[in-house]
Amino acid sequence: MSAGPPTSAAGAREPWGWLPQRLRPREAELPGSGRQWLIETTLLVLVGVLLAVATFNDVARQTGVNERLIADIATWRAYTGHPYHDLGVDQELLGANSRHEVVCGNTVPGAPKAKTQICLLVWGPVVAGRRTVHGGWYLPPRSEDARSERYGCFGSARAAGMCPP
Helices (H), ranges, the chain: 35-80, 156-159
Minimum CB separation of residue 120 from another protein in Å reads: 18
CB 90 within 8 A of CB 102: yes
Report d(CA 61, CA 58) in Å as an integer. Answer: 5
Distance CA 163, CA 165 (A): 6
Minimum CB–partner distance for residue 140 and another protein (Å): 27
Residue ranges that bind another protein, judged by CB under 8 A:
6, 8, 15-16, 25-30, 40-41, 44, 47-48, 50-59, 61-67, 69-70, 73, 85, 96-97
* Nearer Cβ to another protein (58/144): 58
Nearer to another protein, 3 or 96 (CB): 96
Give backbone dihedrals phi and psi of 117, rounded to 5 degrees, phi first: -110, 150
CB of 17 to another protein, least distance (A): 13
